[in-house]
Amino acid sequence: MTRVFSGVKPTGHLTLGNYLGAMRQWAEVDQHRADALFCVVDLHALTVDHDPARVRRLSRQAATLLLATGLDPELCTVFVQSHVDEHARLSYVLECVATDGEMRRMIQYKEKAARERARGGSVRLSLLTYPVLMAADILAYGADEVPVGDDQAQHVELTRDLAVRFNQRYGHTFVVPKATVPEVAARVMNLQEPASKMGKSDDFGPGIVYLLDEPDVMRKKVMRAVTDSGREVVYDREGRPGVANLLEILAACTGKKPGALADAYESYGALKKDTAEAVVEVLRPVQERHKALCADPGHVEGVLGEGAEKARAMARPTVDAAYRAIGLLPAVSGAPAVALNAAR
């Protein structure tokens, strides 16, 4: 059976971009057709300036939202990255296979490092090594496919390179995974700044639709979206990025094609109105389930506890195999204390 792995990082409230670009696919398709794992990748949230209490809160919220999208613990494994030591264990070994040059070429590193420096902050070393930890997340589980939005494709490419390199040098250990990206809405753009991705924590707040925004707030954000000069509704990502973004959002919410939708509209106003309603409708069941799950936090904790146990059992053999392959001496458990003392 195909193995699928993906994750969300609790650095901010989850957005419509996260949902349409990745999470919806996990719940509607991936968990039903594959042996799938979905993870709140909290270690990744420590790579930029962070508040410990906020990361904890956002991790719990992200896990609750994963379940609210419809992920069913009977069908897939939902867990928190830091609950499974194998991620960090494997990450170090992969750092010994990756090069500093390839880390510095990662687009997200360049952008985020530049942003941190512009704010006068320092760049954490973990921001540079982040893609290696991401590779470890994926390779530890032998994932064949990694369903992500377009912005993560480069990191999955790097993961493939590291897997191939490790296998060539030290013997076949890892499955070489591939990214799967949705046909529409693989990169939902900020409604106020359609040249930038809709990120959880960027500087254009009014252009971000959060999964837990009140319906009226969502409607306002969509109605105030920046559109392009001109009046005709055409689907042209380069020339008319604002309108193209709305068309893609509407297409993703309704299952239609953005080009066909463009033909159906004569004004930006009507397009915005229908997009706003479509977004509210798509997120309504997620919000309702989220509310119900918040009333039962013990349930979410239970799911995460079982998920971590299952994940550990899946990752351990591969990570142990990688340790052996790269030349680390296997630990022998239960060696008598006398023998250990003698060895010293």
Q: Given the complex with ligand TYM, which of 196 and 299 has the nearer CB atom?
A: 196
Q: Where are the beta strands (DSSP E) in the chain?
A: 3-8, 35-40, 77-80, 145-147, 178-180
Catalytic residue among 9, 110, 197, 220: 197
Residue 274 amino acid letter: D
Nearer to ligand TYM, 29 or 299 (CB): 29
Residue 96, SS3 per DSSP:
coil
* Rg of the Cα atoms in the chain: 22
130, 47 in Cβ contact below 8 A?
yes
Q: Would residue 200 show up in a list of annotated catalytic residues for this protein?
A: yes
- Residue 142 binds ligand TYM, judged by CB under 6 A: no
Indicate which single residue of 36, 37, 41, 212 sits in contact with ligand TYM (rule: CB under 6 A).
41
Q: Output helix, strand, coil percentages for the chain, rounded to the nearest 5.
A: 60, 10, 35
Q: How far is the CB of 156 from ligand TYM (least distance, A)?
A: 7
**Of residues 5 and 166, the one with the C-beta less far from ligand TYM:** 5
Q: Is 197 in the site for ligand TYM (CB under 6 A)?
A: yes
User: How many CA within 13 A on the CB side of residue 122?
Assistant: 3
Q: Tell me whether residue 299 or residue 312 sits nearer to ligand TYM (CB atom).
A: 312
Active site residue 112: yes
| Continuous H helices in 119-182 | 125-139, 153-170
Q: If DSSP codes are grouped into helix, strand and coil, which group holds residue 145? A: strand
| 58 is a site residue for ligand TYM (CB under 6 A) | no
Does the annotation count 178 as an active-site position?
Answer: no
- Shortest approach of ligand TYM to residue 41 CB, angstroms? 4
For residues 210 to 249, the per-residue mask of contacts with ligand TYM, x marking binding by CB under 6 A and - elsewhere, is ----------------------------------------
Give the largest Cα separation in the chain, rounded. Answer: 84
Pick the closest to residue 73 from 305, 313, 333, 337 (CA basis): 305
Kindly tell me which residue out of 134, 191, 225, 278 binds ligand TYM, with binding defined by CB under 6 A.
Answer: 134
| Cβ(244)–Cβ(235) below 8 Å | yes
Binding mask 10-29 for ligand TYM (x = CB under 6 A): -------xx--xx-------
Integer angstrom CA distances of residue 265 from 90, 102, 143, 315: 51, 45, 42, 50
Please report whether residue 44 would count as binding ligand TYM according to CB under 6 A. Answer: yes
Angle of CA points 117, 120, 125, to nearest 5°:
50
Closest distance to ligand TYM from the beta carbon of 197 (Å): 4
Decide if residue 207 touches ligand TYM (CB under 6 A): no
Query: What mask of x and - would describe binding to ligand TYM in positions 165 to 194, judged by CB under 6 A?
Result: ---------------------xxx------
Q: Are the beta carbons of 243 and 226 closer than 8 angstroms?
A: no
Binding site for ligand TYM (CB under 6 A): 5-9, 17-18, 21-22, 41, 44, 134, 137-138, 146, 148-149, 151-152, 155, 186-188, 197-198
